[in-house]
Chain A
Amino acid sequence: MSEAQTILSVSALSKSFDGVKPVEGVSFRLQNSRITALIGPNGAGKTTMFNLLTGFLRADDGDIHLGGHRINRLSPYRIARLGIGRTFQNIRLFPQMSALENVLLGLKYERGESFWAALWQSKAMKTEERENTDKAVELLKMVGLTAKRDELAGNLSYGQRKLLEIARALALQPKLLLLDEPIAGLFPGMIPEMKRILRELRDSGRTILFIEHDMRTLMDLAEWIIVLNYGKKIAEGTPKQIQQNEAVITAYLGRRRQGVA
């Protein structure tokens, strides 16, 4: 993989909590415009990795580079502004705000968000608000939530909330999108829709890193897979390679006993 195609590079990243090491010396690179999956058994350190990448946790050791920036000392809001959008495993929307407002909160404001703009109700603020509302409506349309724009986020169904969370993350115009279990818990009819949306995003040039457990979706959607186990990277490769990787099979199924099949 050439340097130019790499959007995110993680090198020798480690994090420990009181002796437990959820992430230990992990290195990998994410290639631009590709859907990469981060997998591993429970407790492998996947969500911790997400939190390290987005600045919600601070790594003890190692480096994270996004584009040309070293981001592992930055606060979460700066990393978000530099172009990493994320969703959360347990969905974190603004429940008592409308779907539209949720997306608006992800959009970038140049001047309209300042205190003084609010106080003067400046023209710049109003123009920006109009433009952003159009963008937000567009994003809601993309995930098929146009009809729900004025509905409170907390009143949406589980699947709709997941879609809204993705729309909100997209509002940041992220180069890299981190999705923590985008498919898990969706009702089966919605899964193809979610896959279509994610592929569309990839086609429009976004890089996606997602965590998922469902093997079928995973092998179908991911173009590259990184496998963690007990905080260490044990394999990475194409879905085919991963399926046949001895270390991965052992991690998921346990070591085959001698003499048994």
Chain B
Amino acid sequence: MEYFLHILVITGIYMILTLSLNLVLGYTGLANLGHAAFSCVGAYASSLLALNYGVPPWIGLLVGACTAAVLGVVVAAPSLRMKGDYLALATFGLGVIVYSVAKNWVGLTRGPMGLPGIPGFSLFGLQLSAVWSYLLLVTLFVALTFFVIRRVVTSPFGRILRGIREDETAALAMGKNVNRYKIIVFVVGAFFAGIAGSLYAHYITFIDPSSFTLMESITILLMVVFGGMGSLAGSFVGASVLVILPELLRFLGMPSSVAAPLRQMIYGLLLVILMLARPQGILGKYRWQ
């Protein structure tokens, strides 16, 4: 039971990451291969505040999200000049940089040793230690993320984002300040990724750089593409399927040395099948061009 709830918590955290990346990639069409970098920053900011200064996780979470949002502005800068593949490479680079800093700035992050003993959330002096209480907490944040992003994408503001995705030049010719919208989108995406990172850190109580590798960014990207770019329901499906399906392998009684590589193969296979059968993703309407 405990294990089952744990999987749900992790699924929830991935849902936040997938929804926020969908805003950037699926709705606005900005390639982003460094989404995990934002959650890395959120996680480390929040954990270090809690460990070094005893800052409550609630505040840490907010600070972590804001720090990630600031990094979002930094990433948005190249996105104003680059498109498509070039932007993908630039965000990929950001992922490498953030990962390397987390790994090598031993004085701050303890490097590969990671940060153990991160305190959990507490509510009115009550430590939230049971997994189910975390599930409630994560569900709350998933709902918040969904609520905010749905409002953003279903408004005139969201229409402009889709316009930028469809044809940036035309959007400019329609008097839209494209750069401003791109910055906002990166900031909002980064903010929620920061929240996800912080939730993860305080739930697992241990983080190290290996949780925020490039593979992690790519996994989130796969979830978005799998569920369908530009579909919020798709993000829920994408995150759920790609977290839960590999877990099912455990029940086949395979040793983990086999299960781990097999998991990667299944990801790959799923994606190949999907791209052949349904390139817009399970629930997506929009096709990448």
A residues bordering B, Cβ < 8 Å? 54, 56, 75-78, 80-81, 85-86, 88, 92-97, 101, 104-106, 108-109, 112-115, 117-119, 121, 125, 128-129, 132, 168-169, 171-172
In chain A, what residue has the closest Cβ to B184?
A115
CB–CB B152/A119 < 8 A: yes
Tell me which residues across on chain A come within 8 A of B167, comparing CB atoms: 92-95
Docked pose: A78 CA to B287 CA in angstroms: 30
CB–CB A125/B156 < 8 A: yes
Tell whether B105 is near chain A: CB-to-CB under 8 Å.
Answer: no
Docked pose: A169 CA to B163 CA in angstroms: 14
CB–CB A105/B159 < 8 A: yes
Set A54, A96, A109: member contacting B173, Cβ < 8 A: A54
Set B152, B159, B170: member contacting A92, Cβ < 8 A: B170
A57 nearest CB across to chain B (Å): 12
Q: Which of B141-182 contact A (CB under 8 A)?
A: 148, 151-152, 155-160, 162-163, 166-167, 169-178
CB–CB B158/A94 < 8 A: no
A94-B170, A105-B176, A172-B174 known; A115 vs B157 contact (CB < 8 Å): yes
CB–CB A125/B175 < 8 A: no
Tell me which residues across on chain A come within 8 A of B172, comparing CB atoms: 56, 75-77, 80
In chain B, what residue has the closest Cβ to A84?
B173
A118-B151, A118-B155, A119-B148 known; A94 vs B163 contact (CB < 8 Å): yes
Tell me which residues across on chain A come within 8 A of B160, comparing CB atoms: 105, 113
CB–CB A105/B157 < 8 A: no
A136 nearest CB across to chain B (Å): 11
Q: Which of B171-208 contact A (CB under 8 A)?
A: 171-178, 184, 188
CB–CB B176/A77 < 8 A: yes
Docked pose: A121 CA to B153 CA in angstroms: 11
A104-B156, A117-B157, A118-B155 known; A97 vs B173 contact (CB < 8 Å): no
A76-B172, A97-B166, A108-B175 known; A121 vs B151 contact (CB < 8 Å): yes
A4 nearest CB across to chain B (Å): 26
B residues bordering A, Cβ < 8 Å? 148, 151-152, 155-160, 162-163, 166-167, 169-178, 184, 188, 285-287
Tell me which residues across on chain A come within 8 A of B286, comparing CB atoms: 96
A79 nearest CB across to chain B (Å): 8
A92-B167, A105-B163 known; A172 vs B151 contact (CB < 8 Å): no
Set A93, A108, A118: member contacting B157, Cβ < 8 A: A118
Docked pose: A125 CA to B285 CA in angstroms: 26
Docked pose: A113 CA to B161 CA in angstroms: 11
Tell me which residues across on chain B come within 8 A of A78, comparing CB atoms: 175
B263 nearest CB across to chain A (Å): 34
Known: A80-B174, A105-B159, A119-B152. 15 other contacts (CB 8 A): A77-B174, A77-B178, A88-B170, A92-B170, A93-B167, A95-B166, A96-B287, A105-B160, A105-B176, A118-B156, A118-B157, A128-B156, A129-B156, A168-B174, A172-B175
Considering residues B162, B166, B177, which has the most beta carbons from chain A within 10 angstroms of its beta carbon?
Answer: B166
Tell me which residues across on chain A come within 8 A of B184, comparing CB atoms: 115
Docked pose: A104 CA to B162 CA in angstroms: 12
B280 nearest CB across to chain A (Å): 10
B146 nearest CB across to chain A (Å): 13
